[in-house]
Amino acid sequence: MSADLVVVGLGYVGLPLARRACGAGLRVVGVDTDPAVVACLMAGRSHVQDTGSDALAGMLASGFTATTSFAEVSTADTVVICVPTGLVDGEPDLRSVLAAGRAVAEHLRPGSLVVLESTSFPGTTEEVLLPVLESSGLVAGADFNLGYSPERIDPGNGEYALENTPKVVSGLTPMCAKRCAAFYEVLVDSVVVAAGLREAETAKLLENSYRLVNIALVNELAVFCDRLGIDVWDVLRCSATKPFGFQPFSPGPGVGGHCIPVDPRYLANRARAEGLPCSLVTAAQEVNAGMPGYVVRRARDLLTRDGRRVYGSRVLLLGVTYKADVADLRQSPAIGVVRQLRALGATVTYHDPYAARFAVDGVEVPHSSTVDSADLVILLQAHRCFDLPTIADTAHAILDTRGRMDGDNVDRL
């Protein structure tokens, strides 16, 4: 039986796409090169928070199959590549895209649509993926259709899922773009057709660079306000009342996940390759990268104020995932906080229901939920499950990096 869709890469982007396609009545095959991921999915156990085991059960009942084999590509109408793109020594890492492209090319059939969703620098689809796919002997735009559609998955977002988030699509040729749009129109409420592949690729980088720069702005503002004795949270509250020309962002201990710390570097890297400046993005990265160190300096000052030395102090971190209510530790600012507290000789523990295990530089961080035994509690991530008023009443001293707590023993970032 032929597949309507083959999804390559079954992570936080690919699995929700497969789920939505199953719900739309398509026959879906998921491909992942990790045998453990495939085995868990076929056993009914999901590793992606937004696609729980109940949703996975529905997918399996509809005929969804996960496999490590790319053979089903030869029967598929559409192939969507959702593999990770990260960094190696600060430079773009497209090894997964290249590997997926080569594997797809081995089985590519005439008339199919291939779409890349992985975030990368402008030109990736045409300059990197297209030649690999054409090694099959088929010509893009003539024998098969090629498109790019940037993923817009926001883990933990209960309001916007794949189906009600506008989907940007593009194609190598006008016909490729039309075919790409027709595919996604089956899955989402709104499709936005970009002028070309590079416009769609750049739109994704702009979206995340916009967040990077604005978060850096309020992080710098937080440091500035602390120095001058200004309540930054009240500044933000007042500014947010302006009904035009302002969108509120919140300071914090740094940025994590994939989108904000990683994606803008693809923009900066391509700009450098073209001999162009990308100084604002670079400066914003530096500001955000310095926030874990700033949190540790504030922690040191609070302990000193209370007559304690950092060396030997017991510091409890609340929430170590990179985002509230999400079980994901990628690029979490908690990593830098732990690293620097340890360097000062503090004894660090953590409490986070979303992280059963937390290790930094190969050394486990002990778990503790005993707030009143800590010399200092640092709120890094305000998960909804935390009883913040009770914590505020119980802890000796708190550094709140999220502006969510009140009390005489609470100091906000």
> CB-based contacts of 99: which residues, under 8 Å, 6+ apart?
33, 83
Tokens of 338: 């732990």
Q: Return the closest-CA partner of residue 366 out of 381, 380, 350, 352.
A: 350
First vs last Cα of the chain: how many Å apart?
58
**Nearest alpha-carbon partner for 34 in 66, 4, 3:** 66
Question: Which residues are CB-neighbours of 267 under 8 A, at least 6 positions away?
Answer: 121, 202, 205, 206, 209, 278, 281
User: Which residue in this structure is represented by tokens 């309540």?
Assistant: 231
For residue 288, give the H/E element and its range.
helix 279-289
User: Which amino acid is residue 260, in one-letter code?
Assistant: I
Residue 259 among the catalytic residues: yes
Helix ranges (H only) for 62-196 are 95-107, 130-134, 174-185
Strands 359-360 and 363-364: antiparallel
At residue 225, φ and ψ (nearest 5 deg) are -65, -40
Cα separation of 211 and 85, whole Å? 19
198: part of which helix (H) or strand (E)?
A: helix 197-228
State the catalytic residue, choosing from 82, 180, 259, 278.
Answer: 259
- In contact, 107 and 74? CB cutoff 8 Å: yes
- The first and second tokens of residue 195, run together, are 């002028």
Catalytic residues: 259
